[in-house]
Amino acid sequence: MSLTHSERAKSLDGLLAFPVTPFGQDGELDLPRFERHLAEMLDARPAALFVACGTGEFASLTPAEHREVVRAAVAHVGGAVPVFAGAGGGTRLAVEFLRSAEEAGADGALVLPPYLQVGPPAGLVAHYRQLAATTGLPLIPYQRSTAIFSPEAVAELAELDQIVAFKDGHGDLELLQRIHTATGGELPLLNGMPTAETFARAYAAVGARSYSSATLAFAPAIARAFFDAFERGDEDVQRTLLREFYVPLTELRHTTEGYAVSLVKAGLDVQGRSAGPVRPPLVDLSPAHRAELSRLLERGHAALAVPAGA
């Protein structure tokens, strides 16, 4: 008997972890630091790890580096949680990333939008059909930027066995509701917005309760506390953490393009767990923004000790 989408995507039910890719001061991969980073994240009990994706600076990695990162993650995790690898670019390049990830032992792949090229929904369907035909890995399309789907296109893709979920970072809740309806609620939806916690309740209303947390990579205690409060419906804790940490963090993120990733690495650095600099075209935080992030981390961690309702 074939499994339903929900059964195949069970490993995606929860808090999803997106590690950074550490670099040394020389700009090269720092795999020992990567393994320590993964251990820190696993302590927060994520449902799955997504390596070499957006937070992991996929666009800045060579195919050889991508393969090293995926292989290191699979070996270090040892099956404790599923490991999904990023894949992207044009169709033929994405196929190469998928084959490499499969050979490295990945459990699935998050397919990032093709870069520069913008095609209609029919083109996106053709892209994903070709990818699905070349791999046995479970695939998750990621809607954002240059990859915006129609509900009909997602419903067509949902018929493919390899498509196990649909991640949204576009933020159009009406479109997401139409996608949810077109797929009969069978295809799991994932909240993939930057600082996803600020969207958690809104996305839950259209069936997307699981989300990717960049905060988990640099402030796992805060990320875990928010998700647990979200799961149990504790509005007081959610409001406190939104006020003290998440909403100010989004305001800081909006100051500079690329800070969605740069903030994560800076957050590790200011806490003495540096993962090195970001690669161009991203930029590291300015001194003033580093100081502001440090203050936000202090406020966020202090809020964890505030009694409910305070």
The residues assigned a catalytic role are 142, 167
Torsion angle in degrees (nearest 10) through CA of 31, 32, 35, 40 = -130
Rounded distance between C-alpha atoms, residue 238 and residue 224, angstroms: 11
Find, among 253, 257, 184, 264, the residue nearest to 20 by Cα: 264
Place of tokens 């995790």: 77
- Report the alpha-carbon angle 131-121-84, nearest 5: 35
Cα dist from 275 to 87, 144, 163, 263, whole Å: 22, 27, 32, 12
User: Crossing angle for the helix pair 63-77 and 91-103, nearest 10 degrees?
Assistant: 30
- The answer to whether 164 and 189 are in contact (CB under 8 A) is no
Rounded distance between C-alpha atoms, residue 241 and residue 222, angstroms: 8
Rounded distance between C-alpha atoms, residue 282 and residue 186, angstroms: 37
